[in-house]
């Protein structure tokens, strides 16, 4: 008697179906991995730009806290230049006249580069560095708002972000609503 052998295996349709399903799953997996890598690179680049902006802001705040007079911007106006006189010299810099100004995407302090990646000024009024002299308590005009707008130089499609702070210098002479130290304020960095 003759027995029939059953062929064990897959049909061509089953093999093609499995290959198509695996290709679809593989495509989704690789697109997810690609998206995750791009997000990581973007976050790393943006964090470097943010830390640079935080450094610039901290530098301006510390120096402006020691200011005795601010000559630019003028009263109740804005400028991309900050000019003031400090009360105390430092061991490194004895110059009491300080000027911060933007040129293209860079911020300069007395002609020395202190930061990059600022948004370049355009005709529409956008800025990378702007200082506004505002009224405090409705009468005194010596509070300053410093704004930085930082942009990613490698990817223009990423919108710039802003850092903003208000500063009242501590060394104005005379009484300034209880916040002035009459020229005696000095921050010792140890």
Question: Which residue from 119, 11, 126 is spatially nearest to 56, judged by alpha carbons?
Answer: 119
User: What's the N-to-C CA distance of the chain in angstroms?
Assistant: 102
Question: Which residue from 187, 155, 154, 156 is spatially nearest to 170, judged by alpha carbons?
Answer: 187
In the chain, what are the domain boundaries? 12-167
- Each residue of 9-68: pLDDT tens digit? 788 898 999 999 999 999 999 999 999 998 888 888 888 888 888 888 988 888 888 888
What is the token pair recorded at 61? Answer: 């705040």
Instruction: Tell me 74's DSSP state.
Output: P
- Per-residue pLDDT for 187 more than 70? no
Pairing of strands 129-136, 140-150: antiparallel
């Amino acid at each position: 008697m003759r027995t029939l052998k059953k062929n064990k295996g897959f049909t061509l349709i089953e093999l093609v179906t499995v290959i198509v399903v695996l290709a679809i799953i593989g495509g989704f997996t690789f697109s997810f991995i690609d998206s995750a890598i791009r997000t990581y690179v973007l976050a790393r680049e943006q964090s470097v730009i943010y830390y640079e902006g935080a450094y610039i802001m901290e530098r301006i705040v510390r120096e402006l806290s020691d200011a005795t007079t601010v000559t630019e911007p003028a009263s109740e106006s804005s400028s991309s230049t900050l000019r003031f006189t400090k009360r105390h010299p430092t061991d490194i810099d004895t110059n009491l006249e300080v000027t911060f100004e933007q040129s293209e995407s860079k911020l300069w302090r007395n002609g020395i580069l202190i930061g990059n990646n600022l948004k370049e000024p355009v005709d529409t009024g956008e800025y990378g560095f702007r200082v506004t002299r505002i009224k405090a308590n409705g009468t005194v005009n010596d509070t300053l708002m410093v704004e930085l707008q930082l942009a990613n130089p490698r990817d223009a499609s990423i919108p710039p972000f802003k850092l903003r702070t208000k500063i009242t210098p501590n060394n104005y002479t005379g009484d300034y609503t209880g916040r002035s130290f009459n020229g005696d304020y000095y921050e010792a960095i140890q």
